[in-house]
């Protein structure tokens, strides 16, 4: 790799293509895998064709995960053959963790199978794969080791950045594979998180979303040797100069403690939008799901959050047709949605995940009934989302511009409530937070007019962030 190249033409770099399914944590992980491979000469590529290495970063949370993986692998087989077999093909993420050797049994042309806790060992696996006759499989679990060994974030993420602070889950909801694929809860030390946040800000980030499967269960070691809660960490992060917006996702109602709720009142940079999955509005189903709280607890938390910050809007996740859910339970979910009022939410048809307690539970709900319930939930949530977006009409708000919009002369950005916003403007706006007036609303986005110049505190060097 380091052989001297005396020809005038630069030796091409190795090309790396990463395809990512699933949540923001996977997006973050994909970026970190690219960071790990960069010192080996791998540079990102937009297509798998002709790439020297392809990583499929998979998600196992809902159905058809393995079907999607194997059909993608089927397509990649030809691309690999076209490189004379030189392409290194890796399967990463939660399907890799869950299925391990089954993947290489079904797709022997796969070179590497690695679980989410093994990304720091990728270079070593690439080297082993080039020597080994068979595939290299690594699905071990020590999370601490991973974060200790990953290099510092290298590629700038732009004005909105993601930072994983917590991984894994000890909650064992009846329907969920995460505790099995991501392992036990682990929180990164606060100092490492703050240092990474500062690097992201130096690279142009103005908004950081802290990520974790159970992010509000965060209990990382603080520089004072004590365990820091998420509330404590957020207060520390609020002091980082140039960091204007903070978010965290995904949270569990059980870990929504008063100290964290108070942070919403105290920290202006903490955006008034929170994703807080409740899954069901029926106490009976919440119990079957092993969620550890009742519907009334969720309502109380929503009230407290709004008391802490009046403009706070909520998002959530719902599952239609968990085993044992009756029509009455389903109606309790609709009632909870009515009572809370969501700005936005995700809803899914229950799908049995192998190895989870609910998958073998009695009283599985028939597919057609799950469909019907899901449609009712989605119709109501959509109504609420449209109403929430409409309620922003005429409002003045700060918009963080991120990059070009869909049409020429247009820029796209995000509202404090994470709504996509479009406004007329040029690329020089990227990375700037500007006061805007909302002039039109759509079901999934807002249209705005910029009403002022740089907001106070807008760093003068934002052109850098646009790069
Ligand atoms: N079936 C349907 N939805 C699920 N989710 C997790 N597991 C399942 C499953 N087996 C949903 C939950 C969770 C979101 C990330 O995915 O609503 O909050
Ligand atoms: Fe899955 Fe429940 Fe853990 Fe969320 S809290 S990751 S739904 S087990």
Domain check: are 118 and 210 in the same one? no
Q: How far is the CA of 171 from the centre of ligand 2 (A)?
A: 6
CB 445 within 8 A of CB 420: yes
For residue 389, the model assigns a pLDDT of: 98
Residue 352 neighbours by CB under 8 Å, 6+ apart: 63, 358, 359, 364
Which residue, judged by its Cα, is nearest atom 5 of ligand 2?
A: 171
Q: Please check whether residue 348 lies inside any domain of the structure.
A: no
Q: How far is the CA of 276 from the centre of ligand 1 (A)?
A: 13
| Binding site membership of 317 for ligand 1 (Cβ less than 6 Å) | yes
Split the chain (467 residues) into runs of 10 and give each run's mean pLDDT.
41 83 88 90 90 93 84 92 91 90 91 90 88 78 70 77 94 94 92 96 96 96 97 98 97 98 98 98 98 98 98 97 98 98 96 92 94 98 98 97 93 97 95 97 96 56 35
Domain check: are 132 and 164 in the same one? no
Q: Please check whether residue 121 lies inside any domain of the structure.
A: yes
Choose one of 94, 168, 179, 288 to mutate for the ligand 2 pocket test, by most ligand atoms within 8 angstroms of C-beta: 179
Domain check: are 124 and 200 in the same one? no
Q: Please check whether residue 23 lies inside any domain of the structure.
A: yes
CB 302 within 8 A of CB 340: yes
Which of 271, 294, 316 is at the close of a domain? 271
Instruction: With CA atoms as reference, report the closest residue to 123 among 277, 252, 1.
Output: 1
CATH number at residue 120: 3.40.50.12160
**106 membership: H or E segment, kind and range:** helix 101-106
Instruction: With CA atoms as reference, report the closest residue to 198 among 171, 250, 237, 249.
Output: 237
Q: How many domains does the chain have?
A: 3
CATH number at residue 446: 2.40.50.140
Query: Residue 257 sits in which domain range?
Result: 156-271
Which of 203, 237, 271 is at the close of a domain? 271
For residue 153, the model assigns a pLDDT of: 67
For residue 459, the model assigns a pLDDT of: 47
**97 membership: H or E segment, kind and range:** helix 93-99
Q: Please check whether residue 259 lies inside any domain of the structure.
A: yes
Q: How far is the CA of 17 from the centre of ligand 1 (A)?
A: 28
List the Cα angle 259/264/265 in 5-degree steps. 95
Which of 271, 294, 323 is at the close of a domain? 271
Q: Please check whether residue 365 lies inside any domain of the structure.
A: no
Query: In which residue are the tokens 């297509």 written?
Result: 47
CA dihedral 182, 185, 186, 190 (to 10 degrees): 130
CATH number at residue 197: 3.30.750.210
């Amino acid at each position: 790799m380091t052989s001297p190249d005396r020809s005038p033409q630069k030796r091409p770099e190795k090309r790396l293509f990463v395809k990512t399914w699933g949540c923001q944590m996977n997006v973050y992980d994909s970026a970190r895998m690219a960071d790990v491979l960069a010192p080996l000469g791998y540079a990102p590529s937009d297509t798998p064709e002709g790439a020297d290495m392809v990583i499929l970063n998979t998600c196992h949370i809902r159905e058809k995960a393995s079907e999607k993986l194997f059909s993608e692998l089927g397509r990649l087989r030809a691309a690999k053959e076209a490189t004379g077999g030189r392409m290194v093909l890796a399967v990463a993420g939660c399907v890799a963790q869950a299925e391990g050797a089954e993947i290489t049994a079904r797709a022997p042309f796969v070179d590497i199978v690695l679980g989410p806790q093994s990304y720091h060992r990728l270079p070593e696996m690439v080297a082993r794969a080039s020597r080994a006759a068979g595939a290299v499989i690594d699905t071990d679990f020590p999370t601490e080791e991973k974060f200790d060994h990953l290099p510092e974030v290298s590629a700038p993420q732009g004005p909105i950045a993601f930072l994983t602070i917590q991984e894994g889950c000890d909650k064992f909801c009846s329907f969920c594979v995460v505790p099995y694929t991501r392992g036990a809860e682990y929180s990164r030390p606060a100092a490492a998180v703050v240092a990474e946040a500062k690097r992201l800000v130096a690279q142009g980030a103005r908004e950081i979303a802290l990520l974790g499967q159970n992010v509000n269960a965060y209990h990382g070691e603080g520089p004072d040797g004590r365990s820091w809660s998420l509330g404590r960490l957020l207060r520390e992060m609020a002091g980082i100069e140039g960091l204007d917006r903070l978010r965290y996702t995904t949270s569990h109602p059980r870990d929504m403690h008063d100290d964290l709720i108070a942070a919403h009142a105290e920290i202006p940079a903490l955006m008034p939008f929170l994703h807080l999955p409740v899954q069901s509005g029926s106490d009976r189903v919440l119990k079957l799901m092993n969620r550890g709280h009742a519907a009334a607890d969720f309502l109380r938390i929503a009230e407290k959050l709004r008391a802490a910050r009046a403009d706070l809007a909520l998002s959530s996740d719902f599952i239609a047709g968990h085993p044992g859910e009756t029509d009455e339970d389903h109606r309790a979910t609709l009632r909870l949605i009515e009572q809370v009022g969501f700005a936005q939410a995700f809803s899914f048809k229950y799908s049995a995940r192998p190895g989870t307690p609910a998958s073998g539970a009695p009283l599985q709900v028939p597919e057609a009934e799950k469909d019907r319930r899901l449609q009712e939930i989605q119709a109501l949530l959509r109504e609420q989302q449209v109403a929430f977006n409409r309620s922003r009409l005429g409002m003045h708000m700060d918009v963080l511009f991120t990059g070009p919009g869909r049409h020429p002369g247009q820029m796209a950005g995000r509202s404090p409530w994470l709504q996509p916003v479009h406004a007329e403007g040029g690329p020089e706006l990227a990375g700037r937070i500007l006061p805007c007036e909302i002039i039109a609303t759509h079901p999934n986005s807002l249209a705005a007019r910029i009403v002022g110049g740089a907001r106070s505190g807008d760093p003068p060097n934002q052109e850098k962030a646009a790069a």
